[in-house]
A and B are shown apart, each in its own frame.
Chain A
Amino acid sequence: MKQVLMKGNEALAEAALRAGCRFYSGYPITPQSEILEYLSWRMDEVGGEFIQTESELSGINMLLGASAAGARVLTSSSGPGYSLNQEGISYLVAADLPAVIVDVMRYGNGLGDVSQSQGDYWQLTRGGGHGDYRTIVLAPSSVQENADFTYEAFELAEKYRHPVLIGSDAAIGQMIEKVSFPEMKDHDIDTYEWSIKGCKKGEVQKKITNTLYYMENYDDYLLNKYQQMEDNEQRWESISVEDAELVLVAYGISSRICKEAVMTAREQGIKLGLIRPITLWPYPVNAFKELGSECKALMTVEMNILGQMKDDVVLAVANKYPVYSYTTVKEVPETETIIEKAKNILSCKEA
């Protein structure tokens, strides 16, 4: 298909439709409102349902009903709204229901503000809602990936009967880039044997509720589901890792700066590499097996205060290397600073 220029959020919305999503319920919040605005008219064009709800709580719980009825469903939010979505995400997990939920991350705790940030990493990757669960989290770093990952998220949600998250961020949501879309797909709401349709005489009724209530080996079932995801769905991109002395680890918007930093540093004779997690969970621990013998340290580059991803890198390298963080909170990281910090680390000065 030909390429068009489009805003990240809108590309995401269009890709959802193309993946066969015909139900959206959600509430406006910057910097994701374009998803909802775009679908408010585009859903009509394709014969789907769009509902601007009174809150994110209502949005996610409405979506749960639509998912149970067999549709491909989407909601999107940011920060404070994503916190409210978590009630329903926990219920979707409990009931084995597929859904795609987008968090276009914004800055700060509480209301925070609307600027870009990567501060919801822990919330996205640790479950977040009540109970103990995990969800696949895809982290796009371009408008094209906003589209591609959304399209794929529906497949993954269906494959595992599980909600799938997209951890996008304000910069990617708001930037305009060229994008080409995957083909339009139809989804039949009668596809699933488990969805509610009406119970015919002699059939066993469908109960969409906590799987725990009727499954004997519930814990094994869930552990196995998560294991399958960890075995099969780790995704990442790596650049010049084999001979790197310092490996950067960054996702989303900051990974783009890191790519530039790797190139610039190499021109200066500094051997940087990059691991870009595409799935924030399952964390791509396999990517770290590619580290070469010259590797001395790693450094996460992320836009939050606490260096949230560092823990996962520490686990992935099993303490074999020191791990540093360069955190920029709401400013996009700078190539020069990355290189500066890399030099300091490699010359054994503190980062």
Chain B
Amino acid sequence: MKLKAPESISFAETSFCPGCGHGLVARLIGEVMEEMGMTEKLLTVVDVACASLNIDTWKFDTIMAAHGRPIATATGVKKVRKENPVLAYLGDGAAYAIGISETMYGALRNDNVVVIVINNGVFGMTGGQMAPTSLEGQRTSTTVMGRDVKKTGKPFDITKMIGQLDIAYLARGSVANFKDIAKTKKYIRKAFEKHMNNEGYCLLEILSPCPTNLGMTPVQCAQRVDDAMRDQYPTGEYIDNGGNQ
């Protein structure tokens, strides 16, 4: 494993909570860009939620889009800057609640963008409210007795929603343990390769700890991702169309 951090990451500026998955993914993206020689090319669009902290963590040209709209915004960028890799980076609340229509329509149009969704099972930035991905029975600040699926519907699984569409790539990774981190990095790289090959929509969901809002230590929280979240949200590649579009 590479120990030197990629040059596109600014540790001085980063402000994620200790043990947060966002920071790990930010670094993985930096490493992949370095390996693919695209550090000077990547254009990123981040959501206003915790994803937005990347605008200072990364040294990429970045837009902070409105909550839930980064995918639409990224499509706009890609249409103008066709040679550049373009990434939409957002949380599960952004992608699956307020922005579900943008997430879905990006897929329906097979827009040529890379989408990375951080699934931490809560609304992190606003203080730990229920997200579409919160687990059954999960206590959050808006489900203090635990998520009651009779009232809220069941936890949302993106792979069931766009798993049958003609998109380029759909995968789910995790950053809760060393092995998964390595795998997730491969998924990120694959998504960008397909993207540069103009194959279309690549969505990668990444299971990720939010120790702050789950009131756990970073280690406990990572353990919870491994134990509870992965049961509900199996990791792996779901669509890998390999240029068959």
Contact = CB atoms under 8 A, between A and B. Distances in A.
A196 B214 CA distance: 36
B59 A64 contact: no
Contact of B76 (A54, A66, A199): A66
A207 B62 contact: yes
B42 interface: yes
B40 interface: yes
Interface in B51-66: 52, 55, 58-66
Contacts, number: 130
Nearest to A206: B61
Contact of B66 (A22, A91, A206): A91
B74 interface: yes
A209 B60 contact: no
Contact of B101 (A54, A64, A196, A197): A54
A209 B55 contact: yes
Instruction: Specify the main secondary structure of chain A where it touches its partner.
Output: mixed
Contacts of A196: 43, 61-63, 77, 81
Contact of A197 (B58, B61, B79, B105): B61
A199 B44 CA distance: 11
Instruction: Specify the main secondary structure of chain B where it touches its partner.
Output: mixed
Given A198-B84, A199-B59, A200-B40, A65 B76 contact: yes
Interface stretch (A68-76, A172-180, A272-280): A68-76
B62 A65 contact: no
A88 interface: yes
Contacts of A51: 75, 79, 109
Interface stretch (A55-63, A156-164, A225-233): A55-63
Contacts of B41: 198
A164 B169 CA distance: 38
Interface in B127-167: none
Q: Size class of A's contact patch?
A: 35 or more
A25 interface: yes
Contacts of B105: 53-54, 58
Given A205-B58, A205-B62, A208-B63, 20 more contacts: A54-B101, A58-B105, A61-B66, A61-B73, A63-B76, A64-B66, A64-B69, A65-B63, A65-B75, A65-B76, A69-B76, A73-B76, A196-B62, A196-B63, A196-B77, A197-B84, A198-B42, A201-B7, A201-B39, A206-B61
Interface of B: 7, 39-43, 45, 52, 55, 58-66, 69, 72-81, 84, 101-102, 104-105, 109
28 contacts: A23-B80, A49-B79, A54-B102, A57-B72, A58-B101, A61-B65, A62-B76, A64-B65, A64-B73, A64-B76, A65-B45, A65-B72, A65-B78, A66-B77, A88-B66, A91-B65, A95-B63, A196-B77, A197-B61, A199-B40, A199-B59, A200-B40, A201-B40, A205-B60, A205-B61, A207-B64, A208-B64, A210-B64
